[in-house]
């Protein structure tokens, strides 16, 4: 009887010790029990560090930009070192890049998810390009297509106004019919050029927003991302983002 009692005390003591050791443990993590760390995508390393500041804040990525591009344009003032004569634009919009105060901040989830339903883009900035400037959709005003404004776009598909220099079309300053990273859309998904990675072919499985799941130059394992859709606009141009958000959009302030 004494031996049985001793064994019972030992069992209770071990049980209490195990319960104490598990107290306050974090159940988050993968199947191995290792806590899942939030990491900054390697795609953010492509963003111009002179014009953008990017960092993690908890489970969100903060992208801060001065709104300036890192390439030449006829929209720089004529005395600016990046100024070039217009080669495509036949009627420049008013204002020079260096006269605008185009600072913006965007916060997106580090691991964005598709929403239960898509939502339409609005006027103004809908994304931030790797150059530092912002991305607009395919409208020049409320329900006003880009058609009449197209002659004011420079060789890289951008012009000034009303708040900053911004892109509407494929930005040929760094991407022309390729798989280059264009930037990030405000729902947290990256936007790439017209060709797929690693095949170099035009993707044939894009959804209505130009998105699909697959490998990218910065995530060979695959993730949902957008492409510039390989559909000509006005028989000449390729619109950057003519579709709806597939994720939940976040304000670009």
Which phi and psi angles does 21 have, rounded to 5°? -65, -25
Termini Cα distance of the chain: 76
Is residue 162 within 8 A of residue 94, CB to CB? The reply is: no
pTM: 0.85
Give 19's contacts (C-beta < 8 A, 6+ positions apart). Answer: none
> Tell me, what's the pLDDT at 228?
98
Domain boundaries, the chain: 38-247
> Tell me, what's the pLDDT at 118?
98
Distance between CA 131 and CA 97 in Å, rounded?
13
pLDDT tens digits, one per residue of 146-155: 999 999 999 9
For the chain, counts of helices (H) and of strands (E): 1, 15
> Tell me, what's the pLDDT at 13?
41
pLDDT tens digits, one per residue of 48-76: 999 999 999 999 999 999 999 999 999 99
Least Cα distance to 114 among 251, 206, 249, 229 occurs for 249
> Tell me, what's the pLDDT at 36?
61
Is residue 131 within 8 A of residue 173, CB to CB? The reply is: yes
Is residue 68 within 8 A of residue 165, CB to CB? The reply is: yes
pLDDT tens digits, one per residue of 32-54: 444 468 899 999 999 999 999 99
Give 200's contacts (C-beta < 8 A, 6+ positions apart). Answer: 179
Distance between CA 235 and CA 253 in Å, rounded?
34
Least Cα distance to 127 among 118, 137, 119 occurs for 137
Distance between CA 184 and CA 119 in Å, rounded?
17
Produce one character per residue of 173-204: b if its CB has 16 or more CB atoms within 10 Å, e if not.
Answer: bbbeeebbbbbbbbbbbbbbbbbbbeeeeebe
Structure tokens at 102: 């185009």
pLDDT tens digits, one per residue of 170-207: 999 999 999 999 999 999 999 999 999 999 999 999 99
> Tell me, what's the pLDDT at 101?
80
Q: For residue 132, what are the CA distances in angstroms to 82, 179, 224?
A: 15, 19, 23
> Tell me, what's the pLDDT at 102?
83
The pLDDT mean for the chain works out to 88
141/35: higher pLDDT? 141
Task: Give percent of the chain above pLDDT 70.
Answer: 86
């Amino acid at each position: 009887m004494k031996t049985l009692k001793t064994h019972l005390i030992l069992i209770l003591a071990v049980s209490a010790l195990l319960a104490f050791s598990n107290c306050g443990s974090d159940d988050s993590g993968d199947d191995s029990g290792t806590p899942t760390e939030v990491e900054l995508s390697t795609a953010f390393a492509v963003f111009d560090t002179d014009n953008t500041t990017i960092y993690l804040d908890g489970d969100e990525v903060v992208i801060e930009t001065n709104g300036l591009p890192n390439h030449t344009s006829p929209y720089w003032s004529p005395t600016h070192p990046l100024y070039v004569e217009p080669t495509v634009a036949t009627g420049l919009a008013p204002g020079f890049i260096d006269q605008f105060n185009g600072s913006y901040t965007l916060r997106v989830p580090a691991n964005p998810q598709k929403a239960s339903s898509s939502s339409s883009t609005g006027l103004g900035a809908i994304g931030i390009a790797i150059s530092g400037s912002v991305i607009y959709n395919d409208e020049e005003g409320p329900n006003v297509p880009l058609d009449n404004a197209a002659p004011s776009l420079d060789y890289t598909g951008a012009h000034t106004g009303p708040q900053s220099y911004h892109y509407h079309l494929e930005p040929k300053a760094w991407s022309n019919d390729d798989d280059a990273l264009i930037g990030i859309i405000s729902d947290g998904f990256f936007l790439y050029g017209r060709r797929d990675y690693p095949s170099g072919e035009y993707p044939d499985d894009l959804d209505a927003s130009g998105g699909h799941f697959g490998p990218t130059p910065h995530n060979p394992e695959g993730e949902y991302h957008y492409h510039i859709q390989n559909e000509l606009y006005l028989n000449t141009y390729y619109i950057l983002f003519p579709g709806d958000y597939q994720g939940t959009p976040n304000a670009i302030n």
